[in-house]
Amino acid sequence: MTPPGDMHADSQASILYYLKLAALEGLGKVRGDVGVILSRDPDTVVGPDAAFILTASLPLKISPEGYLETIPDIVVEIRSKNDSMPEVEDKVADYLAAGVKLVWVIDSAKDSIYAYEPTGRTILKRGDVLTTSLLPTFRVPVEKLLEE
């Protein structure tokens, strides 16, 4: 797979920064570019751009290969220019089916962040604030996470 570009990396650094602040408040642990085992036999391993594991889901279970066996509570995907929306939505469906509670898809091309939960999807635009009840103190203006 081709490595992501600079703008993708900028969005990833931003979301990891804000999630790390939540982790430092004792809300859980954050990881970037980590392999996550969604299922076994056959193994399905994915690499989200960011993952947050709530304190209630700790301690982490790690596979012998070093991948997370603990399903993250929150996953972040940053849509690259080569990712079609149907591909991204298939990935989101896999995350939710595995037990992820919330998936944020940062899509700078559409100037949006999509928040997927088992109950549906919410679209946030510039001027909105990204929040979640899973991280009560997490409040980030959407424009801080979109590529400039």
The residue behind tokens 């998936």 is 103
pTM for the predicted model, two decimal places: 0.95
- pLDDT for residue 66: 95
Q: In the prediction, which pLDDT does 6 show?
A: 86
**Any domain includes 123:** yes
Q: Is residue 148 part of a domain?
A: no
Q: Are 49 and 33 in contact (CB under 8 A)?
A: yes
Q: Is residue 22 part of a domain?
A: yes
Domain interval for residue 63? 6-142
Assess whether pLDDT exceeds 90 at residue 99. Answer: yes
CATH label of the domain that carries residue 17: 3.90.1570.10
Residue 11 lies in a domain: yes
Name the pLDDT band for 3 (thresholds 50, 70, 90).
confident
Angstrom distances, CA of residue 19 to CA of 12, 23, 60, 142 = 11, 6, 17, 14
Q: Which residues does residue 75 pair with via DSSP β-bridges, in sequence order? A: 51, 103
Within a domain: 147: no
Q: Number of structural domains, the chain?
A: 1
Q: How confident is the model at residue 102 (pLDDT cuts 50, 70, 90)?
A: very high
Residue 145 contacts residue 126 (beta carbons within 8 Å): no
Residue 74 resides in a domain: yes
Token pair, residue 131, equals 């929040």
For residue 69, give the 3-state DSSP assignment: coil
Mean local confidence (pLDDT), 32-54: 95
pLDDT for residue 148: 63
Whole-number Å distance between alpha carbons of 143 and 131: 13
Q: Which two tokens stand for residue 141?
A: 């203006």
Asked if the structure places residue 12 within a domain, the reply is: yes
For residue 101, tell me if it sits in a domain: yes
Task: Name the average pLDDT for the chain.
Answer: 94
